[in-house]
Structure 1
Amino acid sequence: MKIFLKNNITYIKLFLVALFFGGTFIAGRIMAANLPPFTSAFLRFLLASFFLILFVFKKYGKFPRINFPQFLLIIALGLTGVAGYNFLFFSGLKFITASRASIIISLNPSLITILSALILKEKFTKFKFIGIILSLIGALIVISQGNLQVILQGNIGWGELFILGCVVCWSSFTVLGKIIMKDLKPIIAITYACLAGTLILILPTYQEGVLQNFMQYSIEVWLSVFALGFLGTALAFTWFYEGIDKIGPSRAGIFINFVPIFATLMAVLILHEKLSPSLVIGAIFVVSGVYLTNYQVKNIKIEKAKEINVGA
């Protein structure tokens, strides 16, 4: 057993990473029902920042100094991937189920690929093109709940719009992250972004006026904060980039395909959400699309984590 664990610990960790990322939708749904969005986001990243700082100091001993252009990029990362994404994430989860949100957010790799091709001039392969089409079809099925007439008539709900906004924010965050990760290690860049986002969230959180009542929060809410801040952010990103270092981005990225599957299963088991035919069909299209979008042709050598499309 010990030999098995030693030889497969990286894969076990990556499996858990996908589980933790999937769990963020469950915890997010619980928090969205109990707290306003900025407060939820602030609590998540206050905890995440604390643990990420500990991880960075343990591994590297210190934070590298950054120049002014890097500082501006970090602020942009905090605005898009932390403050913006999480405001929309928790706002959206007030209106739609965790399972539907997880499938819609799986559009991330598609938009990231498009933006990377347009802005960073990255190669746009036929596999990525097919993956984008499949993901888009799947997302449309989920958003419309199987009735595409809803989209044609423009009758998309606020929940779906908020979650689509998440896709835009995370894709922007990832493309900006690719730029700064040329100079900073991924986990250090993520930590800086979390710190920046947490600081940005202080004022809107204060204006919501419920943070001071933290002693009255239920155990369910605090467990959700832990699941989001520690498991789904600090630990998940640390293990994910650790996995990339050990087995490469292509193999590590495969585990991201399981995120919407785990999120949907947990939503059914924990939140008792219904598994509709449109959700299942849409999920199949989206997961297939995510796989193809992240697919790397064997004769192309990918060396850096920036090539992997992650979203949580």
Structure 2
Amino acid sequence: MTHPSSIAIAAQPARAHAALRPALTFKLALTALFWGGTFIAGRVLAQSMPLMTAAFGRFLVAALLLVLVACRLEGGLPRLNRSQIAVTAFLGFTGIFLYNVCFFGALARIPAGRTALFVSLNPIMTALAASLIFRERLGLRRWTGIGVALLGAMVVITRGDLAGTVHDFSQSFGAGEALMSLAVLSWAAYTLGSRKAMETLCPIAATTYATLWGLAFLSLGAAGEIGSVPWASFGWRIWLSMLYLGAIGTVVGFIWYYQGIREIGPSRAAVFTNLVPAFGVILSAGLLGEPILASMLAGGALAAAGVSLTNRK
């Protein structure tokens, strides 16, 4: 999943007491559903084409649409100075390039539902990184939440066999889990980098430039793959998955999420992102026929409780 929740939190003033309209509730819940669906669409692409090509296709669609959105809503994209070029390039490398290479790499190796549950670690790793880099004080409650969330993640990763993993770590933590862990770290870096970007850029401009940078980085890797991809043999599911990832999972989700940010503030809107792992597991079971393990339910619940405890004011 790639979503702009971290940028939004840094960008807009909170409206803690604004009424939450039913229509907005529906849009924010549907956004979480869309982001949960990116794991299913990503799984389809990851099993059909090389990783760089899959990520490049997704963000080619997203970049074209985001530029149109920027022109429509912001009157175009601003010219960047050297500092803005550097920070948006950093965002493109971490949040678009590195995150999505790891995202598709993980989906090529492990089930979509299992991959989706790693998303619950994003806010936890971001909080830890902020504590180390910006010296943010977490406090006992937030440290407790981080511990609970990490325990939940370990239950998911080890499939409930924590003791057995101590003796054979490779049995539970393979290449797919390692790639998704790296994706979580890259998203934390993207989140922290977005703070600098949002000092001088609006959310749409920052995200559009980050996407364009990420697309440029992905094109370098995809250049050697595209010629060998059997495009003519791809069925509708593959093309629909790519369109879904770029248009629905990225652009529509982005616009609706920022509507929530404007109306009710970032903290309340961000609560809806906790639905993403649950939707990812449910959709992977319903659309891909993946099993839902008891360890996934227990670990996912623990991770969600930890995230809620960490983010509670």
TM-score over 0.5 for the alignment? yes
Aligned residues: 291
> Which residue among 119, 128, 143 is the counterpart of 1:105?
119
Residue type matched to 1:247 in 2?
Answer: I
Give 2:217's match in structure 1, choosing from 200, 205, 223.
200
Find out whether 1:258 has 2:275 as its counterpart.
yes
1:31 maps to which of 34, 45, 48: 45
1:217-263 Cα shifts (integer Å, max 9, x gaps): 22111111111111111111121122111110111011011000111
- Determine if contact 1:137/1:282 at 8 Å carries over to the other structure: yes
User: 1:268-300 CA distances to partner (integer Å, 9 max, x unpaired)?
Assistant: 1101111111111011011112222332x2xxx
Q: Which amino acid aligns with 1:154?
A: F
The aligned counterpart of 1:117 is 131
2:83 paired with 1:69: yes
**Secondary structure of 2:184's partner?**
helix
Give the 5 Å matches for 1:206-225.
Answer: 206-210=223-227, 213-225=230-242
Give me the TM-score of the superposition, normalised by structure 1: 0.89
Work out the CA distance in 2 between the residues paired with 1:293 and 1:225.
Answer: 34
Q: Residue 88 of structure 1: which of 69, 83, 102 is its match?
A: 102
Percent identical among aligned pairs is: 37
Aligned partner letter, 2:244: A
Distance 1:157 1:294, change over 3 A: same
1:147 to 2:164 alignment: no
RMSD: 1.6
Q: Determine whether 1:171 maps to 2:188.
A: yes
Q: CA deviation at 1:66?
A: 1.6
For the Cα contact (< 8 Å) 2:49–2:229, is it kept in 1?
no
* TM-score, with structure 2 as normaliser: 0.89
2:33 match: 19
Taking a change above 3 Å as real, the CA distance of residues 150 and 34 of structure 1, as seen in their structure-2 partners, is farther
Q: 2: distance between equivalents of 1:68 and 1:35?
A: 36
Higher RCO (Cα < 8 Å, 6 or more apart)? 2
Cα drift, residue 212 of structure 1: 6.0
Aligned 8 A contact 1:187 1:241 in 2: no
Cα separation, 1, equivalents of 2:299 and 2:205: 35
Is the 1:105–1:164 contact (alpha carbons within 8 Å) kept by the matching residues of 2?
Answer: no
Deviations 1:51-106 (A, max 9, x none): 11111111111212221111111111111111111111111111111111111232
Deviations 1:13-33 (A, max 9, x none): 111110111011111111111
1:210/1:164 CA distance change after superposition, 3 Å: farther
In the TM superposition, 1:149-298 aligns within 5 A as: 149-152=163-166, 153-155=168-170, 156-210=173-227, 213-295=230-312, 297=313
Amino acid at match of 2:241: S
Instruction: Give yes or no for contact 2:98–2:186 (8 Å, CA) kept in 1.
Output: yes
Partners in 1 of 2:72 and 2:141 — Cα distance? 39
Asked if 1:44 corresponds to 2:74, the answer is no
